[in-house]
């Protein structure tokens, strides 16, 4: 099986409630069934993780957290340790989402420590990178995402990169705005990121690492984005909140 199997990930952010989260998880589970040609994961709010992970146990749908602490345990009020996430059934964790970086001031060093700690505790991190509109207009996209990538992966060896880490390119200006990157824009940045990986590691490592696109992905644009060379899947916010818009994303071919 290719290391770059298509991956559809639903980031529910701070949405849904216990009942709707559970109902949605079950709808995704039933739609995925025994399909082997796609990896699917949902990322509920922390407080519903345990219950959603239980509901998905034994299915092909994975459950992950939207964030984690960079500390293993201790006096860190309000934080959640990677080991706790594993304890309640999470297999994945989103790290460095632009909302964490821009609304909560998370820098790339902190993001890198989270990636490392997540790996140490057996979680598969999805490391997000992306430029703001201002940075894109100033032609700084490559330097911004390149630096986020290098710092986020500091301390990650090539084997962990290829087998456990997923990257996500999420232009900040496309998140929750209805303004998707064009396939050409996504393709350019994905190719650039893969080049950075080849430099940080080597060509095979770059070729084996999955890179998702995120930012206003919807049923009507998922096919065009998934058809882009180098786009291995999608990280979806808004459209992942209802079965009517989430399930059609699985028909990306
Ligand atoms: P969106 O969010 O699909 O609502 O734009 C994407 C994300 O933040 O991962």
* Domain of residue 13, CATH code: 3.20.20.70
Look at strands 92-95 and 61-65 and give their pairing: parallel
Give the domain range for residue 69.
Answer: 7-250
Whether residue 63 contacts residue 42, with contact meaning beta carbons closer than 8 Å, is answered with yes
DSSP state of 208: H
Q: Does 97 qualify as catalytic in the annotation?
A: yes
Position 178 scores a pLDDT of 85
Residue located nearest, by CA, to atom 7 of ligand 1:
237
Report field, pTM of the whole predicted structure over 0.95: yes
Whether 2 is in a domain gets the answer: no
Q: Which of 97, 99, 135, 190 is catalytic?
A: 97
Which two structure tokens, joined as six digits, stand for 121? 């505790």
Whether 114 is in a domain gets the answer: yes
What's the pLDDT band for 237 if we cut at 50, 70, 90?
Answer: very high
Whether 203 is in a domain gets the answer: yes
- Percent of the chain residues past pLDDT 90, beyond the cut: 96
Whether 244 has a pLDDT exceeding 60, the answer reads yes
Q: Which atom of ligand 1 is nearest to the CA of 11?
A: 9
Q: Which atom of ligand 1 is nearest to the CA of 238?
A: 4
- Percent of the chain residues past pLDDT 70, beyond the cut: 99
Q: List residues bridging with 234 in a β-sheet.
A: 8, 213
Give me ligand 1 centre to Cα 202, in Å. Answer: 30
Position 2 scores a pLDDT of 54
What's the pLDDT band for 179 if we cut at 50, 70, 90?
Answer: confident
CA 220 – CA 34 distance, rounded (Å): 25
For the Cβ of 176 lying below 6 angstroms from any atom of ligand 1, the answer is yes
Whether 208 is in a domain gets the answer: yes
Position 182 scores a pLDDT of 95
- What percent helix, strand, coil does the chain show, rounded to 5? 45, 15, 40
Position 1 scores a pLDDT of 35
Q: Does 79 qualify as catalytic in the annotation?
A: no
Residues 110-166 have pLDDT tens digits of: 999 999 999 999 999 999 999 999 999 999 999 999 999 999 999 999 999 999 999
For the Cβ of 42 lying below 6 angstroms from any atom of ligand 1, the answer is no
Give me ligand 1 centre to Cα 236, in Å. Answer: 5
Whether 1 is in a domain gets the answer: no
Average pLDDT over residues 208-216: 97
Angle (CA) 221-28-30 rounded to 5° is 130
User: How many structural domains is the chain composed of?
Assistant: 1
User: Which of 7, 9, 11, 44 should be mutated for ligand 1, with most atoms under 8 A from CB?
Assistant: 11
Whether 85 has a pLDDT exceeding 60, the answer reads yes
Angle (CA) 197-131-90 rounded to 5° is 65
């Amino acid at each position: 099986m290719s290391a770059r199997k298509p991956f559809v990930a639903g980031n529910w952010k701070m949405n849904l409630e216990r009942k709707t989260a559970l109902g949605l998880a079950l709808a995704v589970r039933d739609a995925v069934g025994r399909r082997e040609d796609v990896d699917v994961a949902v990322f509920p709010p922390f407080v519903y993780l345990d219950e959603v992970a239980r509901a998905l146990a034994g299915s092909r749908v994975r459950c992950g957290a939207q964030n984690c602490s960079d500390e293993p345990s201790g006096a860190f009020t309000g934080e959640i340790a990677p080991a706790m996430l594993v304890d309640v059934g999470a297999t994945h964790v989103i790290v460095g989402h632009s909302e964490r970086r821009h609304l909560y001031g998370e820098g790339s060093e902190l993001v890198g420590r989270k990636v490392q700690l997540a790996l140490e505790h057996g979680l598969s991190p999805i490391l997000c990178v992306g430029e703001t509109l201002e940075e894109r207009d100033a032609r700084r996209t490559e330097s911004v995402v390149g630096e986020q990538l290098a710092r986020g992966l500091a301390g990650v060896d090539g084997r962990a990169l290829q087998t456990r880490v997923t990257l996500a390119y999420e232009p900040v200006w496309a998140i929750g705005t209805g303004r998707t990157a064009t396939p050409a824009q996504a393709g350019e940045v994905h190719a650039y990121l893969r080049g950075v990986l080849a430099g940080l590691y080597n060509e095979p490592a770059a070729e084996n690492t999955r890179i998702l696109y995120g930012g206003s992905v919807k049923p009507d644009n998922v096919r065009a984005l998934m058809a882009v060379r180098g786009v291995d899947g999608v990280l979806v916010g808004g459209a992942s909140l209802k079965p009517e818009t989430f399930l059609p994303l699985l028909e990306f071919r």
